[in-house]
Amino acid sequence: MTAGSDLSGFDLGAYRRRLGDHGPMAPDLGTLRAILAAQAAAIPFENLDPLLARPVSLELPALAAKLLGRRRGGYCFEQNTLLAAALETIGFRVTRLAARVRWMRPPEEPEGPRTHTLLRVDLGGDVFLADAGFGGHLLAGPVRLAPGLEQALPASRVRVLLAADGFLLQAALPAGWTDLYRFTLEPQSAQDYAAGNWFTATHPKVLFTTNLLAERLTTQSRDTLFNRALTRRFADGSVRERTLADAAELGAVLEDVFAITPPADPAAIWARLG
Same domain, 220 and 118: no
What CATH number does the domain containing 142 carry? Answer: 3.30.2140.20
Q: Confirm whether 3 is domain-assigned.
A: no
What would the pLDDT profile of 32-42 be if each residue is shown by its tens digit?
A: 999 999 999 99
4 located within any domain: no
Pair type for strands 221-226 and 116-123? unpaired
Indicate if 37 and 134 belong to the same structural domain: yes
| Residue 206 belongs to some domain of the structure | no
Residues annotated as catalytic (active site), given as ranges: 76, 116, 131
Q: Is residue 221 domain-resident?
A: yes
Buried-state track 237-247, b at ≥16 Cβ within 10 A, e below 16: eeeeeeebeeb
Does 173 share its domain with 99?
A: yes
Q: In which domain, by residue range, is 157 found?
A: 12-190
**pTM tops 0.75:** yes
76 and 184 in one domain?
yes
Claim to verify: residue 218 and residue 130 sit in the same structural domain: no
Do 159 and 222 fall into the same domain?
no
Residue 200 lies in a domain: no
Tell me the pLDDT tens digit for each residue of 59-97. Answer: 999 999 999 999 999 999 999 999 999 999 999 999 999
Ramachandran class of 160: left when φ > 0, alpha when ψ lies in -120 to 50, beta otherwise:
beta
Residue 132 CB partners (closer than 8 Å, separation 6+): 36, 39, 40, 43, 79, 80, 82, 83, 138, 139
What is the number of structural domains in the chain?
A: 2
Tens digit of each residue's pLDDT (9 = 90 or more) over 150-209: 999 999 999 999 998 899 999 999 999 999 999 999 999 999 999 999 999 999 999 999
Three state DSSP letters for 197-234: HHHHHHCCCCHHHHCCEEEEECCCEEEEEECCEEEEEE
* Pair (236, 107) in one structural domain: no
